[in-house]
Amino acid sequence: MIEKDVFSILFVCHGNICRSPTAEGVMRGKLAHRGWQARFRIDSAGTHGYHVGEAPDARSARAAAGRGYDLSALRARKVEDSDFSGFDLILAADCHNLADLHRRCPPEMAGRLRLMLEPLGEGREVPDPYYGGERGFEQVLDLLEAACDAWLFRLGEDPHRGPADRTPLAC
């Protein structure tokens, strides 16, 4: 159930060890900087349960720590059916994960599903850095910092208004 005075955001990627926990950490940091922690509930999950219970990838944690974001308390989990009603906004890292979410999501809640980078341009995706080098993790942070700032600007003083357009984007 969604708490009325708290706006909730779930960040989702494939395994919940790189992109989505990084997004969670970045958003938590941005909220803390603004003093808005009490106004939001932030979490992350994966569309697949390969890494349930694991800490974020060490490269993600190291890159995030280099910018002041602490991912050490985060543990991977899989998206649950209750997440669709439990979060106001569910942000997928890429079109593949967005499609996975749409397949599971009750139709009346599909407007909650978006891409993480939506405010930066339609169809933009967070690349998966898992099989690349260290630079990929820095690129993910660059994108997520910009996207989190844009989401917070979009949500503004009244997060419960949500995104202006609740029509799901096509990938």
Determine which one of 83, 100, 128, 148 is catalytic.
128
CA distances from 32 to 4, 40, 44, 54, 147 (A): 20, 10, 17, 25, 16
Distance of CA 93 to the CA centre of its chain: 7
Tokens found for residue 160: 């419960």
* Closest of 49, 148, 161, 34 to residue 91, by C-alpha: 148
Partners of 43 in the β-ladder: 10
* Closest of 88, 75, 100, 82 to residue 14, by C-alpha: 100
- Residue 95 a catalytic site member: no
- Residue 105 a catalytic site member: no
Determine which one of 18, 19, 94, 148 is catalytic.
19
- Residue 19 a catalytic site member: yes
Give the residue numbers marked as catalytic. 13, 19, 128
